[in-house]
Amino acid sequence: MRSKIKVIIAGAILITNTAQGQDYTNLKFSSPLKYNPALTGLQNDTEINLRFTHLNSYFSQNSYNSLYGDFSQYSKKLHGGVGFYLNTGNRNNYNFTEGRLSYAFQNKINDKWNYSIGSSLEFSAGVYKYGEQLESYVDTDLSVGGIVYSNRFFTSINADNLLSKDQSFSVGVGREFNFNTNFSMTPSFDLISNYGSLGFKTNVAMRYKKFNFGLGYNNGRLNANVGYDFKKLRVNYSIGNIGNGFEKYNLHEVSLKFRLNNGSTTRTKFNFNLF
| pLDDT bucket at 262, cuts 50 / 70 / 90 | low
Q: How far is CA 199 from CA 93, 193, 195, in A?
A: 28, 6, 10
Q: Kind and range of the H or E element at 269?
A: none
Domain regions of the chain by residue span: 2-274
> CATH topology for 2-274?
Porin (2.40.160)
Q: Helix, strand, coil: what percent of the chain each, to 5?
A: 10, 60, 25
Q: Looking only at Cα atoms, what is the longest distance across the chain?
A: 67
3-state SS, residue 9: helix
Q: How far is CA 85 from CA 30, 79, 151, in A?
A: 12, 20, 27
DSSP code for 210:
T
Query: pLDDT by residue (tens digit) across 83-140?
Result: 999 999 887 778 889 999 999 999 999 999 999 999 999 999 988 777 778 888 889 9
What's the pTM value of the predicted model, to 2 decimals?
0.84
Query: pLDDT by residue (tens digit) across 263-274?
Result: 556 678 887 777
Does 253 or 19 have the greater pLDDT score? 253
Query: pLDDT by residue (tens digit) across 230-254?
Result: 989 999 999 987 765 556 778 899 9
Query: What pLDDT is stored for residue 245 in this prediction?
Result: 56
Does 44 or 10 have the greater pLDDT score? 44
